[in-house]
Amino acid sequence: MSKITGFGTYAPEKIVDNHYFEELIDTNDEWIVSRTGIKTRRMAAEDELTSDMCVKAVENLMANSGQEIKDVEFIIVCTTSPDQTMPNTASRIQNKMGIENAGCIDIYAACAGFVYGLQIAHGFINSGIYKKVLVVGAEALSRITDYTDRTSCILFGDGAGAAIVEASEEEHFLSFNSGTDGDLGHDLYLTRQNNIINGKEAVTNGKILQNGRTVFKWAVGSIPVKVRELVAKAGLELDDIDFIVPHSANLRILEAISKDLNFPMEKIPESVTDHGNTSSASIPLAIEKEISKGTIKRGMIVLMIGFGGGLTFAGTIVKW
């Protein structure tokens, strides 16, 4: 049995508002707010890597929970924008934070990453392989955003969120689901770039390309169905859920989910207004906002569901 025992986030200092884009592309604040709800997003400093943001989120987790992390046995980083593919970002955290004996993997599941990470951590713990797992969702999306593409560049932001999942006396993970519509893979994807690094050929991340309309329709059509499925799998009713935290892709997507489920927006935390779409960091950033307001408290029932490039989704219900 397992539970989340520590939680922390990080957002880079630099705040970018919508007027920034008026200089770069043909757009305006009113269009961006009306179509997405986004008012600002954060951008990593030039020398700030995804692994640096992970470390900051873990430090925040330690400060929030008073936890030591030297005894973490496994680190899972969920990201689409790693420092590089090898060594993986989890190994960078292991090294930077001096976590002596931890297995390290990165998983690439785009905006569903953080919830997939929690599912894997729960599986490791409940099978008895490990007792304490660190899950970090972190993105430097500003590095893989095409700032000449007005249909996508206004959406993305940078940030990180971290959770410790540990063995516990009572099961706090109440249900899970996941799935993929691979047919729609070409509607949201990352290009590759062949670069020369230190005189040698290297493949690095390119830029995000998407068909926004298709992704929007897929999300509003499928996520409410998957939310209902998660609730039923846990043997609960929607009324039993204190908060539903979907990936903060676009405020209009969250409003459509709210309407479909007849579930009030006040109980759907979001991070997209202030942070933009931060992919695998968006769910932790949304939860952190509620924790700091005192609305999400221990013992509450919180449903998380991430969705994005794949097109893939992953959900879980936890007793916080």
Annotated active-site positions, please?
A: 111, 247, 277
Element housing 97 (H / E): helix 89-97
Binding footprint of ligand COA on the chain (CB under 6 A): 27, 31, 35-36, 111, 150-151, 154, 188, 210, 212-213, 215-216, 249-250, 277, 308
Question: Measured from the CB atom, is 21 or 124 closer to ligand COA?
Answer: 21
Q: 290, 291, 38: which is closest to 156 by C-alpha?
A: 38
Residue 152 per-residue DSSP state:
T
Question: Measured from the CB atom, is 87 or 206 closer to ligand COA?
Answer: 206
| Residues in contact with 200: Cβ distance below 8 Å, sequence separation at least 6, in sequence order | none
Q: In the structure encoding, which two tokens stand for residue 227, read together?
A: 């939310």
Contact 220, 305 (CB under 8 A): no
Whole-number minimum distance, CB 149 to ligand COA, in Å?
9
Whole-number minimum distance, CB 206 to ligand COA, in Å?
16
Question: Measured from the CB atom, is 31 or 108 closer to ligand COA?
Answer: 31
Q: Between β-strands 243-246 and 301-308, what pairing exists: parallel, antiparallel or unpaired?
A: parallel
| Residues in contact with 49: Cβ distance below 8 Å, sequence separation at least 6, in sequence order | 83, 92, 140
How many CA within 13 A on the CB side of residue 19?
Answer: 1
Whole-number minimum distance, CB 40 to ligand COA, in Å?
15
Question: Measured from the CB atom, is 213 or 228 closer to ligand COA?
Answer: 213
In the block, tokens 């297995």 appear at: 103
CA distances (Å), origin 223, targets 160, 194, 247:
23, 35, 10
Phi, psi (5° rounding) for residue 4?
A: -85, 120
Question: Measured from the CB atom, is 134 or 249 closer to ligand COA?
Answer: 249
Whole-number minimum distance, CB 252 to ligand COA, in Å?
7
Q: How far is CA 261 from the centre of its chain?
A: 22
Residue with the shortest CB distance to ligand COA: 212
Whole-number minimum distance, CB 209 to ligand COA, in Å?
11
